[in-house]
Amino acid sequence: MAATLTLRVITPESVALDEQVQSVRLPGLDGSLGILPRHAHMIAGLETGILLYTDASGRRKPLFVNGGFAEVQGGTVRVITRAGELAEEIDEERARAAEKRARERLDAVRRDNLSDADVLKAELAMRRAIMRLRARSYLD
């Protein structure tokens, strides 16, 4: 059997994932980060995006993460994030509705010349909605 590492995705509400995996690809602040067994210790900030991992049986699986950070130490990848959802748990209809609302909100804040903070909040909501849909699309 191939060497594995433990992947734990922790949110404020729960442990979204805790399993043995062959590899992990993280959405790092400075680009994608690939993690394999025996990786050097590191801590990295994460963007809102898609964490891809290869499970112990060799299947690639996507998981949406809402920013946060990752720590790699001693055969464990620990991801701390505001939200983490397995792609198969994302309700596509609800995700599309969230994207529509985010797009409308972004259009409204730009049209109404609101503050930069309001524009940033709307852009972040839009990115979350798009990334959730993109994670879900890996299953199609």
Q: Domain check: are 39 and 18 in the same one?
A: yes
Residues 81 and 26 in one domain: yes
- 122 and 101 co-located in one domain: yes
How many domains, the chain? 2
Q: Share the mean pLDDT of the chain.
A: 93
Rounded to an integer, the average pLDDT of 111-132 is 87
- Whether 40 and 96 map to the same domain: the answer is no
- Percentage of residues in the chain having pLDDT higher than 70: 99
132 and 70 within one domain: no
Higher-confidence residue: 111 or 63?
A: 63
Mean pLDDT over 63-74 rounds to 97
Residue 111 has pLDDT above 90, yes or no: no
| Statement to judge: residues 81 and 98 lie in one domain | no
Say if residue 72 is in the same domain as residue 116: no
Q: Are strands 5-10 and 42-55 parallel, antiparallel or unpaired?
A: unpaired
pLDDT band at 122 (very low <50, low <70, confident <90, very high): confident
- 129 and 62 in a common domain: no
- Check whether residue 19 and residue 49 sit in a common domain: yes
Strand segments (E) across 74-120? 76-80, 84-86
Predicted pLDDT of residue 1:
58
Residue span of the structural domain in which 32 resides: 5-87
Tokens 């849909």 map to which residue?
133
pTM: 0.88
pLDDT classification of 83: cutoffs 50, 70, 90? very high
Q: What is the torsion angle, in degrees rounded to the nearest 10, for the CA atoms of residue 31, residue 36, residue 65 and residue 73? A: -100
CATH number of the structural domain spanning residue 48: 2.60.15.10
